[in-house]
Amino acid sequence: MQPTEKSLAAPVTHPPHCIAALRTPLLAAARFRHVGDHADAHVQAIPQARAYSVIFQMQDFASHKLWVDQRLVHAGGHSKASMALTDLTNAYACQHLSDYDNVRLQIRNDVLDELGGELFAGKVPGLRQQQGTEDATMRLLVQALLPSLMRRESGDEMFIEHLTLAMVAHLLRRYGQAGLRGAEGRSAGKLSGRQLARATEYVEAHLAQNIALADIANHCGMSRATFARAFKSAMGMTPFAWVRERRLEHAMGLLRRSDLSLADISAECGFSDQSHFARIFTRNVGVAPRAWRSEQRK
């Protein structure tokens, strides 16, 4: 039974095709894509949750319908790079009537409350819902996340934390309702010499492992968001950029002074494999590791 234009019959739960997914401490992300016949498209119930959904379109989405509490609220399409933001405490259902390719984020309310308290002047009263909004900042952040979403590699954890933290902070800043909309961001705070030393010691001791932003922050007795801002203020770069720099410096030392294989060096410096190491090294140094080692030993 198909829904009418004003009401919705009992929906059939039929999830679209998920081609990639990851879950982080701050949000869940997934990419969905479907190409094919939509003549008999099912109505899909969207599970309710104490969370917000962000859907970012990777291509033009020609036609779909959206209901909330059985009331039709949208019938039409969304352009490429547009964004929808919805409150999942409401009873949503949708019907996809054309091909689509999108990235979907789900952010729990408790995460918004926690980061709203850390980054701004008060608790988050909610986010303003959007349909088809153009948001250049989210476009850049989603595009930056795509490689990690589509091909997750060891060593990406801190980069993903950094990106997802930036996403949530941006959503709070731009779409936060009432009391948050005009709130001034809190000061970044400062890292004491002891905290900076503890952060350095922790990273040096764990270079061969996956290092999470939260782990370093906890080691310094700080929240993730506060540490990230204070670290950038003190060092002039993000924790992710600094850890990557330390991995590369350690790798250069091993290339110069040891006879370890490239595979062994990549493992000791925390890269997922030799190919990952070679890509990051070449991108940042300008030459492949093997060629750099040969040049250093002339």
**Using one digit for the tens of pLDDT, what is the confidence trace for 95-110?**
999 999 999 999 999 9
What is the model's pTM?
A: 0.76
pLDDT tens track for 214-268: 899 999 999 888 898 889 888 888 888 899 999 999 999 999 999 999 999 999 9
**pLDDT tens figures, 33-71:** 988 877 667 888 999 999 999 999 999 999 999 999 999
User: Which residues have C-beta within 8 Å of that of residue 225, sequence separation ≥ 6?
Assistant: 115, 118, 119, 165, 169
Distance in angstroms (rounded) separating the CA atoms of residues 165 and 65: 31
Sheet containing 51-57: order of strands: 18-23, 28-34, 100-108, 51-57, 82-87, 130-134
